[in-house]
Amino acid sequence: MRYILLLIAVISIAAQTNAQEFEDYFTDNTLRLDYIFGGNNRSQYIFFHEARQTPGWHGRKSRLSEQILNGNGQLTVRDTLTKAVIYCTSFSTLFQEWQTEEEATKLSKSFENSYVIPYPKRPIEVTITLRDTHARVTSELCHVVDPSDILIRKVEKNRYDYSYVLKSGESNSCVDIAIIPEGYTSSEKEKFLKDCQRTVDALFSHEPFSGMKSHFNVLAVDCPSRESGPTIPRRQEWKDLPCGSHYDTFYTDRYLMTSKMWNVYDILDGIPFDQIIILVNTDLYGGGGIYNQINVFPADHPTFKPLLVHEFGHGYGGLADEYYYDDQFETKYPSDTEPWEPNITTMVDFKSKWKDMLPSGTAIPTPFTPLSYRELLDKNLPKAYTQKIGVYEGGGYQSKGVYRPCQECRMKVLEVEDFCPVCTRALKEVTEFYTSK
């Protein structure tokens, strides 16, 4: 009994400490920070644009100074007096993806980025850090934000209404997924709400999401488009869409994405969100997910359900693609650097990955027989392929030098129903991080 009481005392002190830390430094509002990231394949710059205050803080209120994953960039908030880290988050960006494109060898471009943090009580020091594929810092901006700055615009109320498609709890202790309609006119609102319900059904019919449903809220933003359907530049079909999304991003047909992050954040000012889904009213194949930035999907393509779960693995869980090409053109993951994504390794620091889950005596690399397409289409793929943990060579677009945890996984092939155990653990850990009290 004494131990139980002691345990209760320790738990309540820990809870108090967390709450106190938040109350010590932050008010129950949101500070939105807008930046421009610009450059080319050789250099990059970060420019601060502007800040605004929006009502309510809907993100996590504990584990404030922890970084669950490194991402390709980090935002770190320090108290200006003590220099203590009081909040941090990580992300990846469309800008850094573009830097690996051929266009970046000939042209400098700029990209919008926005981040939200709890509104500080005292001046804070904000550091934005961008890293390359070697995890080296390529660009950094450190600036002070004074919460009493008169140029921080106060937004009193959310511009758009929203309704809950799934409501499990308070926004501070749940993962809030905000779904923004793109290419749905006001007369197509019913369809949008049905598509939101399909989104919830798709996501939460899959483990590990189904088992964690009570940790998620999903809300539909009431933001109609003036025109119906998507923008398809290769067909010269341009629509007036609230988020500015389009196909042909980086001249790739199926890359449906937006670079208008300020538009997206304008829509979301005052609305709870930890993850953003832009649902596009089209049956044309495409989409994309960028870690802690955005997830974009076509609502009516036949692969909607598996694609949504796969892309959300990128955007939410920071999971890497586990597929690879034999031609080995891609060198996204250099052999001297351990990638930050939890489900691939270069063996530079395998201990930080799934070494603890590897059955003893497993050969590295683990031998495997590639499956035929017909076998892949078999919905009843033996668990031996999806659940037997090893160190299989091929992953992260590279057939050599990058290793994945299982022969098949949802992050490798859309037809495979299951996430492998390593991806499953990673998704659970991210969820615990956002929902811990």
Tokens of 235: 């067909």
Residue 178: name the closest of 130, 220, 207, 136 by CA: 220
Distance, CA of 232 to CA of 254 (rounded, Å): 10
* Sequence letter at residue 263: N
Q: Hey, which bits of 63-182 come out as E strands? A: 73-79, 85-91, 109-120, 124-131, 137-145, 153-154, 162-166, 175-182
Of 268 and 320, which CB lies nearer to Zn ion in the complex structure?
320
Type and span of the H or E element at 34: strand 26-39
Q: Is 199 in the site for Zn ion (CB under 5 A)?
A: no
Question: Shortest Cβ distance from residue 384 to Zn ion (Å)?
Answer: 15
Question: Shortest Cβ distance from residue 63 to Zn ion (Å)?
Answer: 25
Of 218 and 409, which CB lies nearer to Zn ion in the complex structure?
409
Of 57 and 392, which CB lies nearer to Zn ion in the complex structure?
392
Choose the stretch contacting Zn ion; rule: CB under 5 A; options: 248-256, 323-331, 379-387, 410-418. Answer: 410-418
Choose the stretch contacting Zn ion; rule: CB under 5 A; options: 72-80, 95-103, 115-123, 417-425. Answer: 417-425
Q: Is 426 in the site for Zn ion (CB under 5 A)?
A: no
If one counts every other C-beta atom within 10 angstroms of the C-beta of residue 387, the result is: 17
Distance, CA of 196 to CA of 221 (rounded, Å): 10
Out of 96, 138, 171, 343, which residue is the one contacting Zn ion (CB under 5 A)? 343
Choose the stretch contacting Zn ion; rule: CB under 5 A; options: 302-310, 339-347, 368-376, 384-392. Answer: 339-347
Distance, CA of 170 to CA of 217 (rounded, Å): 8
Out of 268, 307, 411, 430, which residue is the one contacting Zn ion (CB under 5 A)? 411
Q: Show the binding pattern over residues 108-147: x = contacts Zn ion (CB under 5 A), - = does not.
A: ----------------------------------------
Out of 88, 320, 420, 430, which residue is the one contacting Zn ion (CB under 5 A)? 420
Distance, CA of 217 to CA of 102 (rounded, Å): 40
Q: Hey, which bits of 121-256 come out as E strands? A: 124-131, 137-145, 153-154, 162-166, 175-182, 216-221
Task: Indicate the angle between helix axes 304-315 and 189-203, nearest 10 degrees.
Answer: 70
Question: Shortest Cβ distance from residue 322 to Zn ion (Å)?
Answer: 5
Question: Shortest Cβ distance from residue 145 to Zn ion (Å)?
Answer: 39
Choose the stretch contacting Zn ion; rule: CB under 5 A; options: 98-106, 272-280, 380-388, 401-409. Answer: 401-409
Of 243 and 411, which CB lies nearer to Zn ion in the complex structure?
411
Distance, CA of 320 to CA of 301 (rounded, Å): 23
Tokens of 321: 């693609």
Of 130 and 422, which CB lies nearer to Zn ion in the complex structure?
422
Half-sphere exposure of 346 (CA within 13 A, CB side): 18
Q: Is 409 in the site for Zn ion (CB under 5 A)?
A: yes
Q: Is 268 in the site for Zn ion (CB under 5 A)?
A: no
Choose the stretch contacting Zn ion; rule: CB under 5 A; options: 108-116, 308-316, 325-333, 405-413. Answer: 405-413
Find residue 44's DSSP bridge partners: 39
Q: Show the binding pattern over residues 308-337: x = contacts Zn ion (CB under 5 A), - = does not.
A: ------------------------------
Of 202 and 426, which CB lies nearer to Zn ion in the complex structure?
426
Give the total of residues touching Zn ion (CB under 5 A).
5
Of 116 and 416, which CB lies nearer to Zn ion in the complex structure?
416
Q: Is 423 in the site for Zn ion (CB under 5 A)?
A: yes
CB 309 within 8 A of CB 303: no
Distance, CA of 395 to CA of 92 (rounded, Å): 19
Report the relative pairing of strands 175-182 and 216-221 from DSSP bridges. parallel
Choose the stretch contacting Zn ion; rule: CB under 5 A; options: 6-14, 175-183, 290-298, 340-348. Answer: 340-348
Choose the stretch contacting Zn ion; rule: CB under 5 A; options: 36-44, 54-62, 194-202, 407-415. Answer: 407-415
3-state SS assignment for residue 431:
helix
Cβ contacts of residue 370 below 8 Å, gap of 6+? none
CB 182 within 8 A of CB 260: no
Residues at the contact surface with Zn ion, assessed by CB under 5 A: 343, 409, 411, 420, 423
